[in-house]
Structure formats: C-alpha cells, structure tokens
Structure 1
Amino acid sequence: MNKISLKLTKTYDENEILKALRESFEFIGGLDSIVKSGDTVLLKLNLTGPFRPEQAATTHPVLVKMMVRLIKECGGHPIIGDGPATIKSPIKDTGIEDVAQEEKVPAFVFEKFQQVHLSDYSIVRDISYSTDVLQADKVISMPKLKTHALTLYTGAIKNMFGAVAFEQRKALHKYKTQEEFSKLLTDIFSVRVPDLTVMDGIWGMDGIGPVHGNPVNFGVLLVSRDAVAIDALSATLLGYKIDDVQMIGRASERNLGESNLDNMFIDDSCYKERILHTANLIPTLQGGLRERFLKLVLGKIQCDSSKCSKCSACLDGCPANAITMNPYPVVDENACLHCFRCYEICFHGALSIKYKKINS
C-alpha cells in the first residue's frame, strides 16, 4: 500500500520544515532508502517564472534548502533545476540562487535536451527532454500546490512538464482541452517518473492559477514515493473530485501511480476532514461545454501598459502566434486558442482576461 505523509505546517520556519521532513521520511521508509551515497540527486522544482517566494507561485527556497541538507546527510550530491515558462531565468528572483550559493550546489535552467521516443503514448510520441533529468541517479520532484486555468489543479504530474524543451512546450499548448492536455501531460510524466515527491502546499494558490491566482496559506506538506497519489490527495484536499482532474486518472490507468485514496496509507487519519479550500476553485467544465463557455464569456486579453515592460515574453510563448507588439501586446481574437499561456507567463501581471457581458 502506498504511503503518503501529510504534515500540517503553516510557516517556512527552517526548524519546523526540517522536523516535518524528517518525520515524513521516517514514515515512508527513510530518505536513505531512496538516496544512496554518491548519487546525483536532481531537485526538480516548480520555477514557472521569476516570482518572489511570497507570491506563492514557485517552490519555496526554505523547503529547497532543507531538502539539499538532508540529501547531503545521505551522501548524495544535490543539484537544482527546472525549465521555466519564461525566457528570463527565475533562479535569482525565486530565492533559489541564494540557496545554491549558501549550500554550494548548482542551480540552473535546463538547457541540454535529448530526443525520447515513447512506444506507449496518447498524444505526443517524440519528446525533447532534459538531459539533466534523464542522467540524474535520482529525481525528486518538488511541485507547488496550485489551481490551474486549464487542468484545474497543478501539482506533481504536471511538474514534469518543465523537463521538456521550451519550444516544444510552447507548441504543445495547441492542445487546449483538459482531456487532450491531460493525456500529453501523462505522456511526459511517463518519461521519467520521479523517485520521490515533496509537495509544497504550505503556501499555494487558488483562483486563476498557476501564477496570477490568490496566495493561500494551505499549511500542508506532502511527501510520497508516488507522485500520482500525492496529486490525488492534494486535489481532494482542495475540494475537487479526483475525476475532475483528468491527468490523475490517466496516470493511474497507465500504472504510473495510485489514484484511489482507499489504497493509500496516509499518516493523518483525519485527512478527509481537512478539505483546505473550496471557495475559489476553477469551475469543473469539461470538453465541449468548456469550449462553449469560453467562447461565450471570454473577450479580449487586455494589456495594462503601466505594468507592461514590453519584454515580449507573451509573444515568444504564444503557440498560435496570435500576439503582435504595437508597441504593447495585441491579441488576435480569431487566432487565440484561449490556452491562457500568455496570461500565465507574464510575470509583470500586465495581461488580464476581459469577460463579456451576458444579457439575461
């Protein structure tokens, strides 16, 4: 039976985090049962963009620092990496550069990739995948607990999307339904299933996540060898039904992890009473209903020129080439896929979604 440690942790106090991690690893069998002396251990963070830790969009540096120290205790050699959604490196703004310097470990954005050919796939067969992830002896995924405008929830499964080369990730956003995107996320997750997942749910996000939602003090830290199980429990704690978040079921169907909570051994017997937040979740509209709803209510993506730096990140990241700069971003409504990628990768928060007035 899969084990998940669920610790109630409200702050990023170093001593409190270290204590929670030690107890979590003891519950699942010990970190030293995963990390062996001499192992290169990649910490795959969620560094979606150059956001400050208090914005709750990225893996918190204190949690990363404590993981680095625990890996060193096991004789491992930690390295820190991710493939962000923006061209600008997030290593400094997120506080990870300070961790790397203090702990004397490398931290970097993925730049080397190799082609991976999948024999078992649903959407994408050939993937340009991070060489650093593939070559690491052990991979520890450290996702952030957040909502997501397309997949409803983003966590452990989706965290491995950052191991794909930037240009391919950009192109893959043409799959704009939750069903399609969930299938391709499962394809990507299957390339290198993490050896361990440490979910940062101490501060996370609700509303229109994963970057411009509302920071929320969920106060949970989740640890398991099974990333799919982490997602199943986390989505449930947010207030979603597991079936609402399609990538969880897809991954379970492909035997990449467990999605049935009854088959999990959770060290908090009261977890069913700990629904964290249900007030501001993404509506669970599926398939054609979601498409019709978006066409009905969504107007133009608008730009606040007082916030825009004209960095062109939105233009570079748009899979439909629907954006031009004049001199600020202008979105072609007819070409727009409503994939929300431009909104997601604007780390200045200059883009917003205008909603149409619906007459009753």
Structure 2
Amino acid sequence: MERSRLRLDMECVYLYRTNVEGTTAPFERYREFAREALQRLELPLPETGTILLNPNITVPAAPDSRIITHPGFIAGLVDALLEQGADQDQLLVGEGYGHKKRGHWAQLSGYTQGLGRVGLELIDLDLAGGVEVAIPGGVVFPQLTFARQATECAFYLNVPVAKCHNLSLTTLAMKNTQGTILSPQRHMCAQQTEDEPFADQAHDITERGISLHEERFCHKQSDKTVARLQLGIPQLSVVDGLIGRDGTGFNHGDNRPLGWTIMGASEVLVDVVGTYLMGIDPQATPYLQVAAERGLGTTRIEDIDVVDLTVGDRLDAASLRQLRAQPPLMPMSTVKGKHMPRFRPDGSLVPWQLDRINKHRQEQKLEPIAA
C-alpha cells in the first residue's frame, strides 16, 4: 500500500532517518534512502518547465570522499521525482564547475556512471550564459549573475552534502547555491572586486569577533539568498547527510555516519537544523547569525518546526537534541601550517585566516589572537 505523503509546508524542515554504520555506503543505499525520503513529501512539481537538481561537486572527488554529493543520492531523488509525476525530459542535473580544465570531472566524481543509471548526464551550468538578478538591500553585491538554467527552471532542488568548511564552518544549502553563480562572482571565499575598497581593513576584527573579510563573506551568502528569493522559483533543499564529513571541506577531514537527510523550502532554516544536527551551535555560526539579522530566518532551533517524516510528527527539543552528532563534527582551518579546530574548547570561535589576522595586528601593534 502506498504511503500517504505530507504536503510541503514552506516554514517546516523535514527530517528522515536511517541507521548507518561505517564511513562508506554503496550507491544503491544512497539511492534508496533519498528516494524513500523524498517520496514522503508531496511536492508542488510543475507540469511544464525544467526541474534543476544542483548537487555539490565543486571539485572532482570520489563519491565516498564525502567532499561531494553522492551520485546515488541524486539518482534516488530522480526516482522519486519520476514517481511523483515529473517527466524525464524535465529533469536536469547541473553544477557550475568553474575550471577551464573540465577533463573527466563527471567521470571522476562518479556522475557519468551514476546518472547513466537514470538516463541523465551532468551538465556544466557555466556553459549556457548568465542572467543578472538585482539584490534589494544587498550589502556586498548590488546584483549577481546566475547561470541561465538556474533562473529559467520551473523548480529548483538544491542538494548539498553535510560537511564542514574551513570558512563557513558548515557548507549546506546556502553555500551550495554558489554553484549557480557565474565566475568571477562565484568565488565568494576570495577577495573579490566588490571587496577591494575594504582591502586594507580585510583583517580587522569586527564586533562579531571575526575578520571583516569573513563578515563580508557571510553577507555574500545572505545577498545570494535574497537574490534567489527575487527569482520566485519554487525550491527545495535536500541535504545528503547519510554520511557526513568534518575538517576543511576538502581533503583534510574525517567521514562520520550520520544517517539523516533534511529537507525544506528555506535554505536558512535547513542550514540551522543541519548545523545543529552536526553538533555545531547555529547561534555561534556567523553566516547564520547574519542571515537571521537580515530577516531571512532564525538561528533558534526551538523556533523551527522540525517534522520527523517517519511518523509525521513534530520533534520536540529533547528528541532533536538526542540526534545531534557526538562528538560534534569540527570545522578546521590552517594555523601556522597545521589544521586547527575553528572552535576552541570553551566554544569560542577562532577567526578564519588567523595567521594573516595576527600579522596585520602585529603591524598595528596589537596583541595577537590565540588559536
């Protein structure tokens, strides 16, 4: 008997869980997990127009590295979309690669073979041109240029992997949409043209206790979220959290079995819940603080309706707390040539690029900041 689906509530975050052991899982495990999760929601799928699935594949990496969204997870979402009435011809799987030497990008990441199982292929969003989108109240960007497919799709599925990041601490739904921005604006971790007027102050410490560069990065993420809202495209963020990763977001880190996916229409609320489940305090996460201050969501986990898709009920605070990763997944960055935790034992945050900050402080005859 077919299970009844919950109608998607734009203000809720949905959690689906499974038991998983070890730090790898086969393709079909990811596929079935994603299919089962998405099948429990009734989605407002369009009858016409494209449905864009946007995984995190910023660098070529093996699926089991957990640096990228697993192709099996994407295949499972495709299965569920087709079962809910989407047409095969509507579906696109795309990511902005952003490198001239594309080579065997899709092959190395397992997407050539993985998407071949569902009759699709990975497309590079950089190749079809872009569309400028104005940002009302933009703090860093007055406008952003999105890949054309990301502005013309009728439904957008944002599919990040649950992992830590050296700068943003967690890289989930909000940061993953960088893959829909064309270069050079995509490279928000770096100093960009928009940052040049503030170059001399980039390593000053703000009231938040982070560098001005890091503060502006956080506003870039919120600017991008505002821009996406201007597009008015129905969207759903679905986090691949079967197995997560701590560390830098790239080659340095350890994989951890998590056994969950979270889904929601709000990138910010999905990121708050995901960050919380990874064991990190959303209220101590700067990009989420900025998003909340700009009216894009809340960092208070108790103010978010988290629905357990297994039973269809809201999870109370105590139940949600029991699901947090222990020990927490720890974001890492480089300090004096070593990978160091971004959080100190007392829970306080170490600013990003601490070596550069302390060099700047030395030039200003200020005391260095301890790691």
Q: TM-score, normalised by structure 1?
A: 0.73
Give the aligned partner of residue 267 of structure 1. 307
Give the aligned partner of residue 136 of structure 1. 153
Find the aligned partners of 2:29 and 2:247 in 1 and give their Cα distance. Answer: 31
Give the aligned partner of residue 42 of structure 1. 52
Q: Over residues 215-270 of structure 1, what are the superposed CA-to-partner deviations in whole Å (9 max), with x where a residue is unaligned?
A: 22222211222221111011112222112222223333434344332232223432
Could you tell me which of 42, 57, 64 is aligned with 1:30? Answer: 42
Residues 188 and 220 in structure 2, CA contact (< 8 A), matched pair in contact too = no
Identify the range of structure 1 (288-297 vs 126-135) with the bigger mean alpha-carbon deviation. 288-297
Give the aligned partner of residue 203 of structure 1. 243
Alignment of 1:228-239 (within 5 A): 228-239=268-279
Residues 39 and 80 in structure 2, CA contact (< 8 A), matched pair in contact too = no
Give the aligned partner of residue 79 of structure 1. 92
> What is the letter of the counterpart of residue 102 of structure 1?
R
Return the offset for 1:64.
0.4
Return the offset for 1:107.
2.0
Task: Note the residue ranges of structure 1 that are not aligned, 5 or more in a row.
Answer: 299-360
Give the aligned partner of residue 281 of structure 1. 331
Q: Which secondary structure state, in structure 1, belongs to the residue aligned with residue 240 of structure 2?
A: strand
Find the aligned partners of 1:121 and 1:242 in 2 and give their Cα distance. Answer: 23
Residues 4 and 264 in structure 1, CA contact (< 8 A), matched pair in contact too = no
Over 3 Å counting, the alpha-carbon distance change for 1:13 and 1:293 in structure 2 is: closer
Find the aligned partners of 2:246 and 2:50 in 1 and give their Cα distance. Answer: 34
Residues 34 and 73 in structure 2, CA contact (< 8 A), matched pair in contact too = no
Task: Note the residue ranges of structure 2 that are not aligned, 5 or more in a row.
Answer: 1-10, 196-201, 203-212, 309-314, 333-341, 360-371
Residues 152 and 284 in structure 1, CA contact (< 8 A), matched pair in contact too = no
> What is the letter of the counterpart of residue 231 of structure 1?
D
Give the aligned partner of residue 72 of structure 2. 62
How many aligned positions are there? Answer: 296
Q: What percent of counterpart residues are identical? A: 20
> What is the letter of the counterpart of residue 278 of structure 1?
P
Give the aligned partner of residue 312 of structure 2. none
Give the aligned partner of residue 28 of structure 2. 14
Give the RMSD, CA atoms, in angstroms: 3.1
Identify the range of structure 1 (35-44 vs 45-54) with the bigger mean alpha-carbon deviation. 35-44
Q: TM-score, normalised by structure 2?
A: 0.71
Residues 31 and 74 in structure 2, CA contact (< 8 A), matched pair in contact too = no
Q: Which secondary structure state, in structure 2, belongs to the residue aligned with residue 166 of structure 1?
A: coil
Over 3 Å counting, the alpha-carbon distance change for 1:262 and 1:25 in structure 2 is: farther
Give the aligned partner of residue 340 of structure 1. none
Q: Over residues 26-64 of structure 1, what are the superposed CA-to-partner deviations in whole Å (9 max), with x where a residue is unaligned?
A: 2xx413xx2133341000110111111011111101110
Q: Over residues 259-300 of structure 1, what are the superposed CA-to-partner deviations in whole Å (9 max), with x where a residue is unaligned?
A: 3322322234322112214264331489997268323889xx
Residues 166 and 352 in structure 2, CA contact (< 8 A), matched pair in contact too = no
